[in-house]
Chains A and B, each alone.
Chain A
Amino acid sequence: MRRPLILLAVVIALVFSASMVPVFAATSLTTTYTVITEYGLIASFPANLAPGEKLVKSGDNLHAYRVKTVPVRDESHLLQLMGAASEAELTDLQKGLLESHRFAVSNSFDNLKTRVPGTSPGINLELVDITGYTDTSRFTTIKEDFWPQNSRVYKYSDGGYDLHSDIRISGTDCLGYGTETARTMQSTFAHEFGHALDKTFTEADAYGPDGAHYINEKIETKASFAEGFANFIMMLFFPEKEPEFRESIRTIKIERPEGGYDEFPIADARLAGEGYFDVEAINTLIFTRLAAELPDGRRLVLDSFQKHNQRDNRMGMFLKNFVSDYPEHAEAAARILDRETLGKLSDAEMRQILGSSRGIEKFISSRAVNEQVSDSSPAENTGSPGHKPGTIYKWKDAAGNWQFTDQPPPQGVEYTTRSRAAEPGKASPVTIENPDASPFIIGY
């Protein structure tokens, strides 16, 4: 009976050494090219395929794709594999594959590659060429069959187990995007690379019955953290995507058990406390704002993430660790957390998430002062038709400056609105920042 027990101890030790110890080394990156050479009924294919070939079953369970995979030596080799004499002859998706390869091997990722967990981790970029199979009216499951993904497997190498990522990029997430195809595929690669940095082990059925997720959907806590972090890595390269994330959380989607979604304004979305972290866009914006607003913020975020990276990652834990690692930035972190959760966290919840420290208390005190200022000069309801207490109006004044007010602008001025976290019978704190000076726009 002793041998199995010893074996069990060894296994447990290996599991922990592979998943818990923060060891980091340069990451090897390889690229493979996979092309669909045939499509047909599963039964029509021979049992034995040539080396490098395999069958990928279609989601309809009737058909399959015969694919061939070869390692890519360099860019000219990739062009040759895609069957083009020059870039001008590449399809839109093939251009995206080429640009994804260029992006992946560029020095833009050098620093991030050193942060992939493991002693000798590997990432394989699998470029899947679906040329000839983009007609979704004929190949009805092509999107799902080759949807981009990062599949991670522990592999034995150099005397230990390392997490290897196989990142599949195919362009099925941007069919028909024209000139936007290549950049979208690059951003997908950056997102999937973000998953390669992350040890989070997401919850079972974390994404709801349909298995898919919107950036503004309420999903499970660890999954929303993992997706938020991957989005943050993507946004390091594609900062223009931030408004999209900010705009998305005007409403929150909640999937019904029987399928389909209900949408709520964020103030009515049954989110409370750390429940706000169940929305990946909110996680994304917290990471992104910490990186953008703190001095050397990008490094601080990545360092803290790397230091505490483990399978039970979640935003509450990350923020507590971050504030503990950089107490000098506690107040700024609290301000960002407060803003990105729309001021809805109570003082107790702020302390619970961030811990109690001088910086946190300073922020909480300043927030209380703001509330008193708001309470002492409550907005006068002009009785404008349709005006709801708690609504913020965004509009431009005659001088062209953005204004954020809790009363409608003068008649005839165009405006947009957002509901804020108003407590019944009490004016909410309103922090108006100068949107022209700020690197992003708040308040819409």
Chain B
Amino acid sequence: MIKQLAGLQLLMMLFILTSFIQGRLHANQFSYVFPPNISLQIIDQHEESGGKIRLTALIESRLGTLEDLEVFFESSKDMQILSNTSKLKTLPPGAPRKVKILAVKTSKIADELGSWLKMGVRFTPDYQAIRTYIADKSIYPDDFERQKLVNIVDKNVGAEARYLEAVRHFIKAD
């Protein structure tokens, strides 16, 4: 009898849990997105004496030739990046560029997210390459949804929009 009651109460608890959790999330509303223009990676990290950290970043075009690239850096307060902002006129496909980054630890404490370094790249995408890509019906078969992307490209071309992507490298504490 006691076992039966315990079983029933367990069922009740399960009922409570399932009743109060609205398990059905609303599903994804379909929308196309653009292909990536650029790939940014931190591919190497070396720590040296004197609190120095050397990083190697890789910048690579993913779509067409990117233009007027400005590379800049930021870090948490406990780090200072000694590398300078740099510029690159063009970045064609298949020609990745390595960026060497030197940082040193400061006497300040890290912020609540820990220690991190960030490399940002501001660039003009290859709008013609984007147009060509999104015109591919095998990739974007839905005419209506594809047209929305075309309209967005038109707006960005009209605004001469510059894009900004970044990669943020968190230095492991463990």
Contacts and interface: CB of A to CB of B under 8 A. Distances in A.
Interface in B30-46: 30-31, 33-41
A381 to B, nearest CB: 30
Contact of B167 (A92, A131, A226): A131
A3 to B, nearest CB: 7
Pairs of residues from A and B, 4 with the lowest C-beta to C-beta distance, nearest first:
A176-B34, A154-B20, A132-B167, A175-B33
Contact of A212 (B5, B30, B169): B30
Interface in B12-39: 12, 15-16, 19-22, 24-31, 33-39
A135 B155 contact: no
A230 B26 contact: yes
A201 B22 contact: yes
Contacts of A247: 144
Contact of B28 (A46, A81, A178, A212): A212
Contacts, number: 179
DSSP class of A's interface residues: helix, strand, loop or mixed?
Answer: mixed
Interface stretch (A82-90, A388-396, A423-431): A82-90
Q: Which of A46, A144, A179, A244 has the most CB atoms of chain B within a 10 A radius of its CB?
A: A179
B168 interface: yes
Contacts of B37: 176
Contacts of B165: 91-92, 131, 134
Interface stretch (B47-55, B96-104, B111-119): B111-119
Interface stretch (A4-12, A266-274, A358-366): A4-12
Contacts of A98: none
Nearest to A156: B20
DSSP class of B's interface residues: helix, strand, loop or mixed?
Answer: mixed
B22 A153 contact: yes
27 contacts: A35-B168, A37-B170, A38-B170, A50-B173, A70-B113, A83-B168, A132-B40, A132-B167, A134-B165, A136-B36, A137-B35, A138-B41, A150-B25, A153-B21, A154-B20, A176-B163, A178-B161, A179-B159, A179-B161, A180-B156, A206-B27, A211-B27, A213-B28, A213-B29, A214-B145, A217-B30, A251-B144
Given A135-B36, A135-B39, A150 B166 contact: no
Interface of B: 5, 8-9, 12, 15-16, 19-22, 24-31, 33-41, 62, 72, 74-76, 111-114, 116, 118, 120, 125, 130, 142, 144-145, 148, 152, 155-156, 159, 161, 163-170, 172-174
Nearest to A163: B22
Contact of A4 (B12, B16, B114, B130): B12
B25 A137 contact: no
A90 B118 CA distance: 11
Q: Which of A134, A201, A230 has the most CB atoms of chain B within a 10 A radius of its CB?
A: A134
A29 B9 CA distance: 36
A151 B120 contact: no
B39 A207 contact: no
B22 A152 contact: yes
Contacts of A251: 144
Interface size class of A (residues with CB under 8 A): 35 or more
A359 B111 CA distance: 65
B25 A92 contact: no
Interface string A345-367: 00000000000000000000000
Contacts of A195: 26
Nearest to B142: A214
Interface in A72-122: 80-81, 83-85, 89-92, 94
A153 B20 contact: yes
Q: Which of B21, B26, B33 has the most CB atoms of chain A within a 10 A radius of its CB?
A: B26
Contacts of A201: 22, 24
Contacts of A174: 31, 33
A132 B25 contact: no
Contact of B15 (A11, A81, A172, A226): A11
Contact of A83 (B22, B116, B148): B116
B22 A35 contact: no
A440 interface: no
Given A177-B33, A201-B22, 9 more contacts: A85-B74, A131-B168, A135-B40, A136-B35, A174-B33, A176-B37, A211-B28, A213-B29, A215-B29
Contacts of B172: 38
Contacts of A92: 163-165
Contact of B33 (A68, A173, A179, A207): A173
Nearest to A219: B27
Given A70-B113, A91-B165, A136-B35, A8 B12 contact: yes
Nearest to A180: B152
B168 A132 contact: yes
A403 interface: no
A155 B16 CA distance: 12
Contacts of B148: 244
A306 interface: no
Contacts of A4: 5, 8-9, 12
Contacts of A46: 174
Nearest to A136: B36
B172 to A, nearest CB: 8
B27 A177 contact: no
B12 A172 contact: no
Contacts of A175: 33-34, 36
